[in-house]
Amino acid sequence: MTDHAPSLVRAAGRSYFPIALVARLPYAMMVVGVLTLVVAGRDSLAFGGLNSAVVGLGAACVGPLLGAAADRFGQRTVLLVSGVASTTALGLMAWVVYSPLPSYAVLAVAFLVGASAPQIAPMSRSRLVQIIGARIAPGRRSRTFDATMAYESAADELVFIVGPFIVGLLGTTLDPWAPVAGAAVLTLVFVSAFALHPSALAAAGSHEQALPPAPARELARPALLAVVAGIFGVGLFFGSMLTSLTSFMADHGDAASAGLVYGVMGIGSAALALGVALFPASFALRARWLVFGAIMLGGAVLLPFVSSVGAMCAVLLLIGTGIGPTMVTQYSLGAHRSPLGRSATVMTILGSAVIVGQSTASAITGSVADLFGTDAALFLPIVAAGVVVLAGVVNAAQPHPAQTAPEITPTRQKVAS
C-alpha cells in the first residue's frame, strides 16, 4: 500500500472522520446561535453582541484548561464531562433568555456556554497526531502529517461556514431558540460518540506519561505566541466578515441569505486547504503564511468597493483561497511548536483563539454597522486580515521557524521550532 491516507483511516477507524466532523458543528454554531437567540428574546442587538463576546470569553478562559486536562487524564473523560456540561448550558441558555431573570443572569449562562464547549477540533488534531506517531510507518509520517493538518483545517472551514448557515435555517424556519437547542442535541449525541470512539485510547496520554510534560511556561514562547496571534486574526476575520456581510445583504433586502453568500468563501478556502498537502517542501511554512495572508488581505481591501451581491461573491471566493492555506499553516506550526506533552493544550488554545476572535469581532462589527452603516463595517475585515499578515511577519522573524513536519515517534513528539 503506497497511499498514506487509507492507512490513517484504518488506524483511526472508518467511522472516526464523519463523527469528528459533525461533533465540531456545535462549536461553530454557538456564537451566532446565542446572538440570534438573545436578539430575538431580549430585543437588543447590542446585548446580543455582548453575549456572543461573553461566549468567546468563556471559551478563552476554560478551553485551554480542558486541553491541559486531556493531556493529563486523556480525552475520553474530559470530553464526556464537558459534553454533558455543554448540553446543559445550551439548554439553560434557551430558557434563561425568555425568563424574567435580569441581564446579568443571561450573561452568566453565556459564559457557561463558552466555558463548557467541547474542544473537538483541537482534540481531533491532537488525537490524529498521536495516532500517526503510534501507527504510521516512519517513512510516511511526514506526508501523513501534512495531509492530516490540511484535512483538519478544511473541516474547520466547512463547519464555520455550515454552522452559521444551520443557525439561520433553524432560526427562520422554526424559532430563534431552535439553533441553540439543535446544538445541544448534536453535542449530546456526537460529542459523546467522539469521546467514546476507540481512537480516543490513542490520545489517553499513556505514551507521553513515560516522559514528564514540558513546563507550562514553554507555552509562552514567542514562536508559539505568534501563531496564536495569527489564528486569533483569522477568528476576527470570520466574525467581522459574517456580521458586515449580514449588514450588506440587509441593505440589498435579503439579510436571510447572508449565510448562503458567506458560504461562497468556504469553496475556495476548503479546496486550497486540502491542496496544501501537495505543496513542495521548499515552500516553507513561514512563506506560505505570508503569501496566503497577503491574498486574504488583498481580497479584504476590495470589500468596501463592492456594490452588488455577485461582486461580493467573487471577492469572497478570492478571500477564501487565502484563508484555507493560512489556517493549515498556522495549525501545522502549532503542532510543530507544541511543547512535549502539551499538544492538546496548544490545539485548544488555537481553537479558543478562533472563537474569541469571532465573537469579539461580531460584537464590534455589529455596533459599527448600527452606528455608522455597512460601508464602515466592511473596513473591519481589512483590519482583521492585517492582524493575520502582521502576525505572519512576526512569525517569519523567528530564528528557527518550522518548515517540515515534526518528527513524531510513538513515545514523544519532537518539536521543530
Q: Residue 42, class by beta-carbon neighbours within 10 Å (0-12 exposed, 13-18 middle, 19+ buried)?
A: middle
Query: How many whole angstroms separate alpha carbon 337 and alpha carbon 335?
Result: 6
Tens digits of per-residue pLDDT, 36-75?
888 788 877 668 778 878 888 888 888 888 888 887 788 8
What is each CA distance from 233 to 98, 255, 368, 378, 413, in whole angstroms? 34, 25, 18, 16, 27
Confirm whether 4 is domain-assigned.
no
Is pLDDT larger for residue 399 or for residue 61? 61
The pLDDT, as a whole number, for residue 381 is: 95
- Cα 246 to Cα 62, 173, 307, 309: the distances in Å are 30, 18, 14, 12
Query: Which one is predicted more confidently, 249 or 230?
Result: 230
d(CA 206, CA 227): 28
pLDDT of residue 220: 63
Least confident of 129-133, 186-190, 268-272: 268-272
What average pLDDT does the segment 286-291 reach? 90
Distances (CA, A) of 160 to 28, 46, 177: 5, 23, 19
pLDDT value for 415: 35
Lowest-confidence pick of 18-22, 44-48, 75-79 = 44-48
Q: How confident is the model at residue 204 (pLDDT cuts 50, 70, 90)?
A: low
**Cβ pair 20, 194 in contact under 8 A:** yes
Residue 1 lies in a domain: no
**Quick one: pLDDT band at residue 405, thresholds 50, 70, 90?**
very low
Tell whether 3 is covered by a domain: no
Residue 2 lies in a domain: no
pLDDT the model gives residue 304: 93
Instruction: State the residue for C-alpha cell 503506497.
Output: 2
Grid coordinates representing 321? 483561497
Judge whether 305 lies within some domain. Answer: yes
Segment 208-219, tens digit of pLDDT: 444 566 655 666
137: pLDDT strictly greater than 80: no
Domain containing 202 equals 9-414
| Residues in CB range of 353: below 8 A, 6 or more apart | 60, 228, 231, 232, 235
Residue 258 has pLDDT above 50, yes or no: yes
pLDDT of residue 315: 94
Domain tally, the chain: 1
Which of the residue ranges 243-257, 290-304, 396-410 would you say has the lowest mean pLDDT?
396-410
Look at residue 197 and tell me if it is in a domain.
yes
Top pLDDT among 388 and 155 is at 388
Name all contacts of 173-180 with Cβ < 8 Å and 24+ positions apart. 176/36, 176/37, 176/39, 176/40, 176/41, 177/37, 177/41, 177/94, 177/97, 177/98, 179/29, 179/32, 179/33, 179/36, 179/37, 180/29, 180/33, 180/34, 180/37, 180/90, 180/93, 180/94
Higher-confidence residue of 8 and 390: namely: 390
Mean pLDDT calculated for residue range 78-92: 92
Q: What is the pLDDT of residue 264?
A: 82
pLDDT at 275 over 80: no
**So what's the pLDDT on residue 218?**
64
Given this model, what pLDDT does residue 290 score?
Answer: 94
Cell of 379: 473596513
The per-residue pLDDT for range 361-385, each reduced to its tens digit, is 887 888 888 889 889 999 999 999 9
pLDDT recorded at residue 214: 61
CA–CA distance, 330 with 364 (Å, rounded to integer): 25
pLDDT band at residue 289 under the 50/70/90 scheme: very high
Mean pLDDT of 344-355: 79
Contact 278, 401 (CB under 8 A): no
Q: Are strands 407-408 and 413-414 parallel, antiparallel or unpaired?
A: antiparallel
- Tell me how far apart the alpha carbons of residues 255 and 249 are, in angstroms, rounded to a whole number: 5
Task: Give the largest CA-CA distance in the chain.
Answer: 63
Would you state the pLDDT for residue 2?
47
Domain CATH for 263: 1.20.1250.20
Whole-angstrom Cα distance, residue 215 to residue 376? 45
219 vs 183, more confident: 183
What would the mean pLDDT of 170-180 be, rounded to a whole number? 82
Q: Say if residues 179 and 29 touch (Cβ distance below 8 Å).
A: yes
Using alpha carbons, select from 25, 56, 158, 33 the residue that is nearest to residue 364. Answer: 56
Q: What mean pLDDT comes out for the span 136-150? A: 76
- Tell me which of 263 and 312 has the higher pLDDT: 312
Mean pLDDT, range 193-213, rounded to an integer:
65
pLDDT of residue 340: 67
Of 143-147, 258-262, 375-379, 410-414, least confident by mean pLDDT is 410-414
Residue 344 lies in a domain: yes
What pLDDT is recorded for position 189? 93
117, 130 contact by CB (below 8 A): no
Local confidence band at 15 (pLDDT 50, 70, 90 cut-offs): confident
